[in-house]
Amino acid sequence: MTDLLTPQLNIETAVPDWLQARRLTGRAAWDNGSMPTRKTEDWKYTSLYPLQQDFTAAPVSDASAAELGLDLPELSGSRLVFVNGHWREDLSTLVADAAIEVVRFSEANAEQSALIGEHLGTTVPGTKHLFAMLNDAALSDGVFLRVRANSKAQHPVQLVWHNSRAESTFISNQRLLVLAETHSEASLVEHFSGRNNAFTNGVSELVLGPGAKLNHSRLHLESPEALHIGGLHVRLDRDATLESFHLALGGKLKRIDIVINHEGTGAHCQLDGIYLLRGNEHIDYHTCIEHAVPHCTTDETFRGIIGDKARAVFNGRIHIHPDAQKTHAQLSNKNLLTSATAEVNTKPELEIYADDVQCAHGATIAQLDDAMLHYLRTRGIPEDEALVLLSYGFINALVETQALDALRDYLKPLLADYFGATSESASEQGSNLTRHIGA
Amino acid sequence: MLSIKDLHAEVDGKTILKGLSLEINAGEVHAIMGPNGSGKSTLGHVLSGRPGYEITGGSVEFMGKDIFEMETEERAHLGLFLAFQYPVEIPGVSNMEFLKAAVDAVRESRDEEAFDTVSFMRKAREACTAVDLDQAFLKRGVNEGFSGGEKKRNELMQMMLLEPKLCILDETDSGLDIDALQVVAKGVNTMRAEDRAFLLVTHYQRLLDYIEPDYVHVLADGRIVKSGDKSLALELEEKGYGWLEVEVA
């Protein structure tokens, strides 16, 4: 098996002592674990073959934002930028906000270190998520975001993990821990980008205390060669509310696990996601919502557009434990296939062990609607532009639900460009096809 | 302007139009009436080029060109407009994006300059007011969650902005209350012009109280069985369609 850990251990960074224990447990779990194969149910449609190569340690880059091709939403708050997993102070901006503490693990003070030590890894118990164990084993630094109790953040926090071009294929480790304390409120954007075939192994943990509210977005905008295996792991305490929005472009191998645990009554989670694939790209979203207690709600919608010979996997599980009475949960997954060779494997799974719940789930796979296409054409809109408008419209409804205006303003032209470039036409015509989006 | 000769068409292997002929000149308003299943809506769909409708005979010329040689959007560029009986909902594409795309495409095909954003916004707002539709509808998804009446007004608004040569209204009056009907009638009457023609496809005579047609045709079993002036519509209202079918037989 490819050694995914050793290259990461070769990096000479000072690791705080209190992280060492977690590294060692992670390492033991990783060493004892066996790599999933196509016979592992959770990995049935996703091959790890692209990981069969020699990886190097992530190189430090001092390239400028322009050289890196950084293109980020203009949000008002703090922005922390990591390039190849390494902190780049010069590209980061810290904006003072009384409600927020945002700090790297390596810079955490005693109180923060204690909080990190108390919560880190609690959203990923056991050894089920093997790549989270790899992340633990290679842990050298990470970001800790604390939203203070009974306070509301003034600005959204933006975390950027960008991989630069490099001569060799490297591994970068990404870790985030968010602690939203009782009745706090904040917004957070995770941004993954990059121009190469690096492998990112990420783990983001969100711990929401009683009554806490978090608006979270996670953007995967890496290049089509990118390799990413990562997870978002969440714990929701009583009456906590999480709005979590996901957008991913396809990669050579992308696997994202989203695990949300309703642990306190009255918690609510709205989970929306979009995936867009073309070429030979692959993406695999596995979501798992655990309803362990009564009176919680989940509203989950994922939509994907898959073209060319790309393949998407969506597995959405909602697990309602015996005690989780009065649960309201709905899951919808709609897929649009824009070519005859595109493929999607979708599997919504409801597992219900309580008897007084309201649950619904559904998945559809379709081509573009002929009636819609005809309607647009009767108004004089050429067929190729109509196809772009309809593809865009298919996912735009989810973008529209996003609370952050600046993020919507960033995503709309980006998506328009994406669909313009998807068509077989030349790029000049591509912009012609998308010029009415956002009119 | 529109010349239909002995048109035969079928859907799913079932023949619907069986030798329909109709001449419409610029400036005229024609009404086509007929019982359910007579082929009224099929005519509109065939003229618009809707997939699934197969032409099995006859010819249609629009503005001197063979309509079946043209793509749907080319027909629109030439000035053909069909107001749908059941307008399609397109969530995620705003009405504004849709209208601008349509108007730009049609104007471009006529070598006319595109409106800049500001003047187009103004025109769109004016059109909204003209059809008594709140401007908030410009920002909503195309027909998304609109009531039946709102959808019909939206069709009318598109017609006003696109300034077509031939406007086919497919049962635009169906399901409208009397206020909405008057809005539609007012819109059509305002647009009546020497170089523009209308084809009103309707099930009821009521619409013709507000829009005075030059000709009334009765469609039964896939062809026009009787033509006359507006008094024919009143006669139909009184006697129903039964007597015509007997007469034809």
HSE-CB of A326 using CA atoms within 13 angstroms: 8
Does A438 contact B97 at a Cβ distance shorter than 8 Å?
yes
Q: What is the pLDDT of residue A425?
A: 46
Are A260 and A378 in a shared domain? no
Residue A176 located in a structural domain = yes
Q: What's the average model confidence in pLDDT over B144-149? A: 92
pLDDT at B36 over 90: no
Which two tokens mark A285?
Answer: 């979203």
Instruction: Work out the pLDDT band at A435, boundaries 50, 70, 90.
Output: confident
pLDDT at A427 over 60: no
Rounded CA separation A104/A93 (Å): 14
DSSP-derived letter for residue B103 is H
Mean pLDDT of chain A: 92
Name the H helices within A108-230: 110-119, 130-137
H/E stretch holding A199? strand A199-208
Q: What is the pLDDT of residue B247?
A: 57
Asked if the interface predicted TM-score (ipTM) of this complex is over 0.90, the answer is yes
Q: Does B58 touch chain A (CB under 8 A)?
A: no
Q: What is the pLDDT of residue B37?
A: 81
Rounded CA separation A334/A43 (Å): 21
Residue A217 located in a structural domain = yes
> Three-state SS for B88?
coil
Give the end of a domain, one of A264, A287, A309: A264
Q: What are phi and psi of B172, to 5 degrees?
A: -60, -25
> Three-state SS for A134?
helix
- Which amino acid is it at B243? W
Q: What is the pLDDT of residue B203?
A: 84
pLDDT at B243 over 80: no
- Cα–Cα distances in angstroms (integers) from residue B239 to residues A280, B34, B40, B220, B249, in the given order: 66, 13, 20, 15, 17
Using DSSP bridges, classify how beta strands A157-163 and A100-104 pair: parallel, antiparallel or unpaired: unpaired
Instruction: Work out the pLDDT band at A426, boundaries 50, 70, 90.
Output: very low
Domain extent at residue B127: 2-248
Task: Give the domain CATH number at B90.
Answer: 3.40.50.300
Residue A178 located in a structural domain = yes
Rounded CA separation B72/B76 (Å): 7
Rounded CA separation B113/B107 (Å): 7
pLDDT at B248 over 70: no
Rounded CA separation A419/A433 (Å): 9
- Cα–Cα distances in angstroms (integers) from residue B48 to residues A389, A402, A422, B76, B136, in the given order: 20, 38, 28, 8, 29
Q: Whose CA is closest to B39, among B170, B243, B221, B242?
A: B221
Q: Does A439 touch chain B (CB under 8 A)?
A: yes
Q: Which residues have CB under 8 Å from B159's CB, separation 6+?
A: B81, B83, B167, B187, B191
Domain extent at residue A25: 6-264
> Three-state SS for A69?
coil
A329 burial class (0-12, 13-18, 19+ CB within 10 angstroms)?
buried
Residue of A371, A389, A397 lying closest to B97 (CB–CB): A389
Q: What is the pLDDT of residue B40?
A: 87
Q: What is the pLDDT of residue B237?
A: 79
For the stretch A158-211, pLDDT in tens is 999 999 988 889 999 999 999 999 999 999 999 999 988 899 999 999 999 999
Are A105 and A236 in a shared domain? yes
Give the percent of chain A with pLDDT over 70. 96
The number of folded domains in chain A is 2
Residue A321 located in a structural domain = no
Rounded CA separation A291/A234 (Å): 12
Chain B residues touching A389 at Cβ < 8 A: 90, 93, 97-98, 101
For the stretch B70-91, pLDDT in tens is 999 999 999 999 999 999 999 8
Residue A338 located in a structural domain = no
Q: Does A397 touch chain B (CB under 8 A)?
A: yes
Q: What's the average model confidence in pLDDT over A334-363? A: 93
For the stretch A297-318, pLDDT in tens is 999 999 999 999 999 999 999 9
Give the end of a domain, one of A264, A294, A321: A264
- Which amino acid is it at A262? H
Instruction: Work out the pLDDT band at A429, boundaries 50, 70, 90.
Output: low
Give the end of a domain, one of A264, A285, A312: A264
Q: Does A97 touch chain B (CB under 8 A)?
A: no
Residue A70 located in a structural domain = yes
For the stretch A270-287, pLDDT in tens is 999 999 999 999 999 999
For the stretch B168-193, pLDDT in tens is 999 998 888 888 899 999 999 999 99
Give the distance from residue A435's alpha carbon to the nearest chain B alpha carbon, in angstroms: 8
CA angle A179, A181, A183 (to 5 degrees): 140
Rounded CA separation B249/B237 (Å): 21
Cβ atoms of B201 and B166 within 8 Å: the answer is no
Q: What is the pLDDT of residue B162?
A: 95
Instruction: Work out the pLDDT band at A430, boundaries 50, 70, 90.
Output: low
Residue A99 located in a structural domain = yes
DSSP-derived letter for residue B86 is S
The number of folded domains in chain B is 1
Are A116 and A241 in a shared domain? yes
Q: What is the pLDDT of residue B5?
A: 95
Does B81 contact A397 at a Cβ distance shorter than 8 Å?
no
Residue A416 located in a structural domain = yes
